[in-house]
Each structure stands twice: as C-alpha cells, then as structure tokens.
Amino acid sequence: MSAEQDLREWLRGRGAETIDHAGGSLYAHLSRVHDRLVRLGLSADVQLAGLAHAVYGTDGFDVALLDRAERATLRQVIGGASENLVYLYGACDRRRSWAQLADTGTVWDRFTGQAESLDASQLRPFVDLSIVNELDVVEQDPAVAEKHGVYFRSLFTSWSRIASSQVSAEVESVLAR
C-alpha cells in the first residue's frame, strides 16, 4: 500500500469519518484538502500533510486524533517531512502568527509557547496548506465565508508573495465568488 492509502486507513481507524466538520466529516474535509493540493501540483509531502493536517487538532478545530507526544506514530505512516508540517500546522497559534507571517516567517507554537522562524522551504508549504484548508472551510460553510471572507482575502493577499502561485490563483478563484 502507498503512504496515502495507509494514512486513509489510519484516519478511518481513528474515527475521522465520525467527527463532524464543515462539509460533513473531518475525514471528508481532510480528503478535500488533500485532493486540492494534488490538483494544484504541490509536493507529495505537502499532499500527505494536507490529508493529516488536523491529526493533532488545530487552533481552529480542537479535536485531536493523536496526542502530539505520539508524533512517531504518524511519522511512521507519512514520513518525517509530512509529519513536521502537520505538527507545525496543528501547533500554530494563529492569533500570534498569521498577521505578521509574511514579514517575519515566525510561527508561534500554541502547545509550547515558543516561536519558530521558518526558512523558505518550510514557509511556503505551511502557507499553502493553511490557505487550502481555509478555502475548503469557506466553500463548505457559507456562514464562515460571510463572516471571515474579507479577513481571509486580506490575509491571503498579504501572503501572496510567500505562497505558491497556484495557491494564490486558487485564492482569487474561490474568494472572488
């Protein structure tokens, strides 16, 4: 089996199909994020991270499928690069990190309170995953689009210089509606 197939089986085993999320289940959301990352041509590591991005919970979704102390478990399924991105995404303190991210490249860890400065090879995948996640939520929940659409347009415009061109184009396509 491939890492993607192994991960899908692992997610189902952890109950991701039974957890409510915008647009259905958490599993459906994770799958849509993964599929969009595939369609946009992002790397296999980013695609796998997209499929697992909420495993440790997130700043906006407080349900964890795995305790962060057990990171080695996920690493065995998807590899170190993908798991590192999943951890970074789940750990991100959005309030402290997002507004200045394009200028500082700094992500504050909500679990530890520590800041991490990302280099370009870490920053772009993190930003791309963050954007694609929010685009899916906006598309699945019109109330989120109405309440946060202006904020996301502004934020993602500020991130356009650090996001991949295909993800920036996706922002224009989705948020222009």
What is the pLDDT at residue 103?
97
**Which residue ranges make up each domain of the chain?**
3-170
pLDDT at 177 over 70: no
pLDDT at 118: 98
Q: What is the mean pLDDT of residues 90-114?
A: 97
Give the burial class of 89: count Cβ atoms within 10 A of its Cβ; 0-12 exposed, 13-18 middle, 19 or more buried.
buried
pLDDT number for residue 1: 73
Q: What is the mean predicted confidence (pLDDT) over 140-146? A: 91
**Host H or E run for residue 117:** strand 115-117
Rg (CA), the chain: 15
Say if residues 170 and 40 touch (Cβ distance below 8 Å). yes
Tens-digit pLDDT profile for residues 39-77: 999 999 999 999 999 999 999 898 999 999 999 999 999
User: pLDDT above 90 covers what percent of the chain?
Assistant: 94
Q: Mean pLDDT, the chain, as a whole number?
A: 96
For the cut 70, the answer to whether the pLDDT of residue 36 exceeds it is: yes
pTM of the entire structure?
A: 0.96
> Which architecture characterizes domain 3-170 according to CATH?
Orthogonal Bundle (1.10)
**Cα distance between residue 110 and residue 48, in whole Å:** 22
Give mean pLDDT, residues 9-21.
Answer: 97
Q: What gap in Å lies between CA 102 and CA 94, rounded to an integer? A: 13
Burial 109-140 (b: 16+ CB within 10 A, else e): bbeeeeeeebeeebbbbbbbbbbbbbbbbbbb
